[in-house]
Amino acid sequence: MPERPVVGWDLGGAHLKVAVAERGRLLEVAQVPCPLWQGLEHLIRSIDQVRPLVETAAVHGITMTGELVDLFENRSQGVARLIEAMTQAFPGRELRIYAGRSGFLTPREAGARPDEVASANWLASASFAAARLEEALFIDIGSTTTDILPIAAGQVEAHGLTDAARLTCEELVYTGVTRTPVMALTDAVPFEGARQRIMAEHFATAADVHRLTGQLPEDADQHPAADGGAKDETGSARRLARMLGRDLESANMAAWRRLASYLAERQLQSIQDAAACVLSRSPIGDLAPVVGAGIGRFLAAELAARSKRPYRDFAALVEGDEMVCGRAACCAPAAAVALLARGSG
Domain CATH code at residue 245: 3.30.420.190
Same domain, 217 and 111: no
Query: Is the pLDDT at 1 greater than 50, yes or no?
Result: no
Burial pattern 25-39, b for ≥16 Cβ within 10 A else e, equals: ebbbbbbebbbbeee
pLDDT of 7 higher than 90: yes
Q: How many CA atoms lie within 13 A of 323 on its CB side?
A: 3
Exposure b/e, 77-97, CB count within 10 A at least 16 = b: ebbbbbbebbbebbeeeebbb
Range of the domain at 238: 182-269
192-210 pLDDT, tens digit per residue, is 999 999 999 999 999 999 9
Residue 286 domain-assigned?
no
Calculate the alpha carbon distances from 98 to 55, 102, 297, 301 in Å. Answer: 21, 8, 24, 28
Q: In what side-by-side order are the strands of the sheet with 25-33?
A: 25-33, 15-22, 6-11, 59-64, 94-98, 104-105
Pick the last residue of a domain from 269, 290, 306: 269
Same domain, 10 and 84: yes
Query: Does 118 lie in the same domain as 211?
Result: no
161-170 pLDDT, tens digit per residue, is 999 999 999 9
**Does some domain include residue 106?**
yes
Q: Would 279 be classed as within a structural domain?
A: no
Phi, then psi, of 130 in degrees rounded to 5: -65, -25
- 118 and 17: one domain? yes
The confidence band for 344, taking pLDDT boundaries of 50, 70 and 90, is low
Q: Is 223 within a domain?
A: yes
Q: Is residue 129 part of a domain?
A: yes
pLDDT tens digit string along 264-295? 999 999 999 999 999 999 999 999 999 999 99
Q: What is the pTM of this model?
A: 0.96
Q: Looking at 213, 240, 269, which one is the last position of a domain?
A: 269
Average pLDDT over residues 331-338: 98
Does residue 127 form part of some domain?
yes
Cα–Cα distances in angstroms (integers) from residue 304 to residues 29, 271, 296, 325, in the given order: 26, 12, 13, 21
Question: How much is the pLDDT for 2?
Answer: 55
What is the sign of the dihedral through the CA atoms of 276, 277, 281 and 282? negative
User: Are 241 and 335 within one domain?
Assistant: no
As a whole number of angstroms, the distance between CA 137 and CA 13 comes to 26
Please tell me whether residues 17 and 113 are part of one structural domain.
yes
Shared-domain flag, residues 20 and 121: yes
Claim to verify: residue 22 and residue 127 sit in the same structural domain: yes
> How far, in Å, CA of 345 to CA of 338, rounded?
13
Number of domains the chain contains: 2
- Beta-carbon contacts of 158 under 8 Å, excluding residues fewer than 6 positions away, are 123, 126, 149, 166, 171
Same domain assignment for residues 29 and 85: yes
Is residue 300 a part of any domain in this protein? Answer: no
- Statement to judge: residues 10 and 126 lie in one domain: yes
Q: Which of 123, 195, 152, 172 is nearest to 289 (CA)?
A: 152
Among 252, 269, 286, the domain-final residue is 269
Percent of residues, the chain, with pLDDT higher than 70:
99
Q: Count CB-CB contacts under 10 A for residue 248.
A: 17
**Cα–chain center distance at 19:** 14
In-domain check, residue 145: no
Q: Tell me the β-bridge partners of 28.
A: 20
